[in-house]
Amino acid sequence: MRSLDDLLAEGVTGTHVLVRADLNVPLDNSTGEALITDDGRIQASLPTIRALTQAGARVVLCAHLGRPKGRPDPVYSLAPVAERLADLLGAPVAMAADVVGTGARQAVQRLADGQVALLENVRFDGRETSKDDAERGRLADDLAGLAQAYVDDAFGAVHRKHASVYDVAQRLPHCAGGLVLREVEVLRRLVEDPERPYVVVLGGSKVSDKLGVIEALLPSVDRLLVGGGMCFTFLAAQGHEVGGSLLEEDQVDTCRRLLADAGDRIVMPVDIVCAESVVADAQVTVVAANAIPAGLKGLDIGPNSVQLFTEALNGARTVFWNGPMGVFELAPFGGGTKGVGKAVAAAAGLSVVGGGDSAAAVRTLGLEESAYGHISTGGGAALEYLEGKTLPGLAVLED
């Protein structure tokens, strides 16, 4: 893949450069005003944007936010992102009124060298996610008409065959941004030649969401630590009752097979933090993992499990962590994720946080970001890369 450095070496002063960025940040609309609760993805986009503006490019940013179902929805407007980005850049960011219409064209035409414009949420245009190649192609034509070069710096979207990710790259001279190249470099180390011991920590709600990466990584890892909501399906596969905890009954047999094939390398929680309901002031009870009462829900791994996982991580030279250990957003159920997060950060070798909720948990729980070797911006993309799938947004950048 051509790099951003390659593009800059050719000279971009006065050139309109379309940058597909990942600005899909979480918003809190509860007060009636959209507030960004985690600006990590905006922060991660800054190096590429700054490199281009400092080189005199006229930067046109393209991004999505949420799932607005192919039509404008003010709840998913990128306007709050434009404001935050301007704060971080210390320079104005022009916010276009639409995706590729009159507002977008005017915002782009007004750019001077070194300035930035942000197009409105690209998913406001239904062609972005269309399965029809011709439909996507028409949007890609419109986007390509706004610039003379294309940079993909949205690793969190490279697993999607969308117009702004896949089709535009076929229409303009293109390269990968620094963020994308860094992600690929780190994840390739996990796949091709991980330093051992290699420990993977998986959490999150559902086994079905992680089954592909479990199947792909299990043959090569030294230990697989299972927490989060997905652990209850594994516990059920061991014959234990899980009370009112999250359970994917259709995955029990799969978990039973995984335990039979590699149970000596799969580490399960030994205690669980339970409550009757998922609320911030819940009365919690810690019980053995094989003795969850019928009237309670498992909502976090317990302190003994944190200790067990910490010991399993001790001495690891490569660690990949994807998925929280519990409902970390609520204080009664954040201890497991925070404890495991600290243990991952303490690993002597390469520690990789696999994006998504795991990256959000690092920031929400006050863990030190610099203690990790790499925090991915793309949870789903990272998992699919590790599964060995072809990611359309990467494939189209390859020469």
Q: How far apart are the C-alpha atoms of 127 and 134, rounded to whole Å?
A: 9
In the set 40, 156, 335, 356, the catalytic residue is 356
Q: What distance in Å separates the CA atoms of residue 183 and residue 394, rounded to the nearest whole number?
A: 11
Question: 26, exposed or middle or buried, with CB in 10 Å at 0-12, 13-18, 19+?
Answer: middle
**Amino acid at site 299:** L
**Angstrom distances, CA of residue 341 to CA of 66, 85, 135, 160, 309:** 27, 28, 43, 29, 10
* Terminal-to-terminal C-alpha distance of the chain: 6
131 is catalytic: no
State the catalytic residue, choosing from 206, 265, 317, 342. 206
Based on the residue annotation, tell me whether 356 is a catalytic residue of this protein: yes
The SS3 assignment for 106 reads helix
Q: Pick the closest to residue 116 from 43, 40, 36, 18 (CA basis).
A: 18
* Options 41, 84, 161, 223, the catalytic residue: 41
Specify whether 342 is catalytic. Answer: no
274 sits in which H/E element:
strand 271-275
219, two tokens: 């043959």
Strand pairing category for 297-301 and 271-275: antiparallel
Closest CA relative to residue 131, chosen from 156, 97, 163, 100: 163
Q: How far apart are the C-alpha atoms of 16 and 115, rounded to whole Å?
A: 10
Q: Annotated catalytic, 84?
A: no
User: Among 101, 145, 212, 380, which one carries the catalytic annotation?
Assistant: 380
Among all residues, which ones are annotated catalytic?
41, 206, 356, 380
